[in-house]
Chain A
Amino acid sequence: MSVVGFDFGTTNSLVSLVRGGRVINFFDDHGLPTPSVVCYEAGQVITGRAAKERLATAGLGVYGNVVRSPKVLLGNESVFVDGVERSVTDIVADFLKAVRKDATSKPARGLKDLDAAVVTIPVNFDGPRRVALRDAFRMAGIRIVQFVHEPLAALYGHMRAADDQKALLRRFDRQLVLVFDWGGGTLDLTLCRVEGGMLLQVANDGTDEVGGDVFDNALRNEVVRRVRAERGLGESVQPQPDAHARLLHRCERAKIDLSGRDRVQVYVDHFFRGVENDSLDLPLARDDLERIVGPLVDAGVARIRTLLEAAQVSPPQVALCLATGGMVNMPMIRSRLHELFGASRVHFASSGGAAIAEGAAWIAHDRAGLRLAKSVELLLARNSHLPLVKCGTQMPMEGEVCQDQWGLYCVDPRDGFAKMQLLSPMRPGPRAMPNDHRNVLGTMTIRVHPEARPFLERIQLSVEIDDDLILSARARSTMQGDTDTIEVHNLEFAVPLGGTESKPGTEPTIGSKDDQLHHAETPPRPPTEKGAVTIRANVADEILHSLVPGELWYKHHPEEFDTRREPPRIQVEERLYYQPCARCGRPINDPLCRCGSSRAAV
């Protein structure tokens, strides 16, 4: 049984298989990836290029009886296609069945059956959509062995297909690599770090606002506008019914040809209705094209800057920019990338639109299971961190779930809530430091008994990661019986190159509690990502009196504050600072308290 790499793309899809040390791509009859388009016509399901030719406009979604890029509809229950309500999962399954049938119809190329695949997904593809995609694949008779992010797959394929893989690894070891995948439908960005034979995701970003189809659409609209302006045609002059589809096709062709020449003539016969000269005829120069699509290119390149800024990385720190996807053949985009990173550090993938599927095929061939790139930690009282899932943990494969449970204590139940926050260090790797920047993955709040003494209320925390790479955390207070659940969909992953095992130090163990970060002595609050809401966590995983706020601990154990016992300084300060006013009972720093000793002194 062969496990293939399956790139179910927004605009195009491709199946690849590694056989005999070489990737075989299962293109359609035109030698191109299959367009991700489904058309329901006269009771028949038409997919691929034949369905795409029925489209008169760019963009994603449902147009009449044509569904373009059903992947973007995943997550919805159903859509109306030509007035008929259809399940999105069924639409995707219809397309996948056609791709599967097409790929297996050529047994001489080595694929007798297609029933298992490593499937690529965009970096912003959330959990419910992954679940729906798995269902659709199952309906099409294909098991998803594992998901992998598209840019990560492209990078893996690039590194794996190199002639001297070890030299490449040495060259980029401990360096940053930006994968820039600009396809027909989406722009996906992933900043990775090569470390110890592993490719670790540092930061991800993705958008479908500047896909290649948007370029074609913008070009088409501009061409029509200019022709109307030059010939003085008003809005009353309408185009032929299929004219827009034909013009879109010519614009796409013009965009490609302008990569190699300075000027082309855009011509569509019988474009307009009701005028003597019904053809559309317009000369288009490369400069015109760049002016038209320049804002889109700028928006795409700006995503790179945004991503790098968020990861606190400057462009010179990026050792390699791997550009894939059909759009990177545009000279304008190439020049922008050269300007940003320098020509020597930009590499345009030779396989173009097949790079992602090829990478997935290599991952399937090497059986390179995903690992967690960054630890998932729980913020504890006094800003210490309990590692819940360690960096390097092997992600579950098909049908697997890894899970563990922790017993926690509420150290300060006075407000009636136990507050927990899941964090992830911004820097990948096993050696996260207490002061490292961290991203907030989610916050849980459960009711606890406000009158309970510290450590009396216990909290059960269970964490699991399923084969859709969704982390679910559930907390329950034992006395109050309240529960809270969160799901984390945006984990970052690593993959060992060439199926190599990770270093012993990073051997995956979910649930290990012996991390050095655990309970550092009153560390300062670590910085978090911009805009993230941070909380003051009030849970601990062991009974340690110094974790309780001083004023609360003094309430229950005043004898502990005898100076001969050398109470913790922070608790003493807290007790003194939050000492309630003897008269009004308000905290001493409460502005409403007008009977405090300081005011009295004034």
Chain B
Amino acid sequence: MARTGPAGRDTSRFAAPAPRPKVPENLAAFVAYAYSRKGQRVALKKQTIASIGEGPPPADNFKSQIEQWSRADVLLAVPRQLLLAAMPHRSATKVWSMLLDVCLTALRAHPASADLAAHLLSPSTDDECDSVLEQAATANLGHLLDSGTGKPFATAKANALRSNLVHTAVTWLVAARGWKPRLAIASLHRHAWRGGISVPETLRALAEVKDPAPLLAVASAFVEDAQQQRRFAEDAHAREGAALVRLEELEAHASELAAKLAEQRAAYGALTERLATEQREHQNTVSHLKDDYERLRSRILRRLTRELELLDEGMLALRRDPPKVHVMADHGDRAIAGLRDEIRALQSEDSP
């Protein structure tokens, strides 16, 4: 966990811009006052708020002056104090807006926060705020040079600068973008408070804490988060149980439907088979009936043809001169006998 204490205040190289009045009378004076405090806590009194709100707008060179002060604030310790001082007075819209402009100008002017400043205005969701904070926590500060020594920052100073950058960003996102503190703390825990310390150091740090409020806030946030996660888990567990019950019901229903389907399929198969059998039997019956008909038809036809031939021949014999009556008699007898045989056969077939 990164240290959150007031470390990193560079007092040796911080040049005060002007003599500090007792009560700042306008915005420029208040900002100057804040920068003169070199990162220490500042407060915005009602009188100052009234003066700023009712007073004239800042001078034209105020922005360049802020940029100058910001570049002098090597460890970026002041903008966060300005925001913290203004947060209780967000109802004073004009003052709040002016101070946000001042902070934004200072952040844009500072080399460590110049890139980040562009992203501070855009986040609208919790995830976007988290992403901006991650960007601040992982910003590359290696290229920055200490204005005092002209060399890269020492580790302690670099840590202080990164801490101020992260906390300025958190303060901005909570104050200006409405990010929930609980989520901000969780995000800080994920992105900024990395690294661990030994148990004795932890105990020592806890023992040396003079103001337990931050710890309380962090702990409260974590407790609240844990409770919420627990609620989520319980809710998910309940939903899982309900889903399992529902799943079992659905599986039972599916089994029932599968059984019904198999039953229906079996019935369909049996019906199909029966239909095929019936069709086959029907075709067989048709074939048999057709065969019976053909047999009977051809038999009758053959009989009639044969007897007709006999009678025809007998008639030829009868027409001869002299007529051959005996031939006609023979052929007639044979034809009649044949027809009688056929009639008898038909009658015997008719009887069951």
The answer to the question of B284 belonging to the interface, with a C-beta cut-off of 8 Å to chain A, is yes
Interface residues of A (CB under 8 A from B): 19-22, 24-25, 27, 29-32, 106, 108-110, 253, 257, 260-261, 263-265, 267, 269, 279, 281, 283
The answer to the question of B291 belonging to the interface, with a C-beta cut-off of 8 Å to chain A, is yes
Residues 282-293 of chain B: 1 if any A CB is under 8 Å from the residue's CB, otherwise 0?
011111101100
Task: Enumerate 9 A-B pairs (CB-CB under 8 Å) in ascending A order.
Answer: A20-B285, A31-B302, A32-B298, A106-B294, A108-B286, A261-B334, A265-B330, A267-B313, A281-B324
Cα A257 to Cα B310 in complex, Å, equals 12
CB pair A279–B320 under 8 Å, yes or no, is yes
CB pair A29–B298 under 8 Å, yes or no, is yes
The answer to the question of B306 belonging to the interface, with a C-beta cut-off of 8 Å to chain A, is yes
Closest to B285 in A: A20
Closest to B334 in A: A257
Closest to B324 in A: A281
CB pair B284–A31 under 8 Å, yes or no, is no
Closest to A20 in B: B284
Closest to B320 in A: A279
| Residue from A22, A31, A283 in contact with B288 in the complex, judged by beta carbons closer than 8 Å | A22
Cα A20 to Cα B280 in complex, Å, equals 8
The answer to the question of B317 belonging to the interface, with a C-beta cut-off of 8 Å to chain A, is yes
The answer to the question of B301 belonging to the interface, with a C-beta cut-off of 8 Å to chain A, is yes
The answer to the question of B189 belonging to the interface, with a C-beta cut-off of 8 Å to chain A, is no
Taking the closest CB of chain A, its distance from the CB of B317, in whole angstroms, is: 6
CB pair A109–B324 under 8 Å, yes or no, is no
Closest to B310 in A: A253
Q: Contacts A265-B326, A267-B324, A281-B327 hold; do A24 and B334 have CB atoms under 8 A apart?
A: no
Residues of B within 8 A of A27 (CB): 294-295, 298
Q: Give the 9 A-B residue pairs with the shortest CB-CB distance, closest first.
A: A31-B298, A20-B284, A265-B330, A110-B287, A267-B327, A24-B291, A269-B316, A108-B290, A109-B290
Residues of A within 8 A of B284 (CB): 19-22, 110
Taking the closest CB of chain A, its distance from the CB of B140, in whole angstroms, is: 86
Cα A265 to Cα B295 in complex, Å, equals 30
Closest to A30 in B: B302
The answer to the question of B281 belonging to the interface, with a C-beta cut-off of 8 Å to chain A, is yes
Cα A30 to Cα B300 in complex, Å, equals 9
Cα A459 to Cα B291 in complex, Å, equals 59
Residues of A within 8 A of B316 (CB): 269
Taking the closest CB of chain B, its distance from the CB of A52, in whole angstroms, is: 15
The answer to the question of B94 belonging to the interface, with a C-beta cut-off of 8 Å to chain A, is no
The answer to the question of B258 belonging to the interface, with a C-beta cut-off of 8 Å to chain A, is no
Residues of A within 8 A of B262 (CB): none
CB pair B283–A110 under 8 Å, yes or no, is yes
Cα A265 to Cα B327 in complex, Å, equals 6
Cα A253 to Cα B309 in complex, Å, equals 11
CB pair A269–B313 under 8 Å, yes or no, is yes
Residues of A within 8 A of B287 (CB): 19-20, 24, 108-110
CB pair B331–A267 under 8 Å, yes or no, is yes
Residues of A within 8 A of B299 (CB): 31
Closest to A267 in B: B327
| Residue from B286, B295, B301, B337 in contact with A260 in the complex, judged by beta carbons closer than 8 Å | B337
Known: A19-B284, A279-B324. 6 other contacts (CB 8 A): A19-B288, A20-B285, A30-B302, A31-B299, A31-B302, A253-B310
Cα A32 to Cα B294 in complex, Å, equals 11
Residues of B within 8 A of A22 (CB): 284, 288
Closest to A270 in B: B316
Cα A495 to Cα B159 in complex, Å, equals 107
Closest to A28 in B: B298
CB pair B301–A20 under 8 Å, yes or no, is no
Cα A265 to Cα B316 in complex, Å, equals 14
Cα A263 to Cα B341 in complex, Å, equals 17
Q: Contacts A31-B301, A265-B331 hold; do A109 and B281 have CB atoms under 8 A apart?
A: no
Closest to A268 in B: B313
- 172-223 of chain B: CB within 8 A of chain A: none
Cα A25 to Cα B288 in complex, Å, equals 10
Cα A110 to Cα B284 in complex, Å, equals 7
CB pair B301–A30 under 8 Å, yes or no, is yes
Cα A25 to Cα B292 in complex, Å, equals 10
Residues of A within 8 A of B334 (CB): 257, 261, 264
Closest to B303 in A: A31
Residues of A within 8 A of B324 (CB): 267, 279, 281
Residues of A within 8 A of B331 (CB): 265, 267
CB pair A31–B317 under 8 Å, yes or no, is no
| Residue from B280, B288, B297, B298 in contact with A24 in the complex, judged by beta carbons closer than 8 Å | B288
Closest to B312 in A: A269
Cα A261 to Cα B334 in complex, Å, equals 9
Taking the closest CB of chain A, its distance from the CB of B278, in whole angstroms, is: 12
Taking the closest CB of chain A, its distance from the CB of B336, in whole angstroms, is: 12
Taking the closest CB of chain B, its distance from the CB of A324, in whole angstroms, is: 18
Residues of A within 8 A of B298 (CB): 27, 29-32
Taking the closest CB of chain B, its distance from the CB of A113, in whole angstroms, is: 15
Residues of A within 8 A of B305 (CB): 30
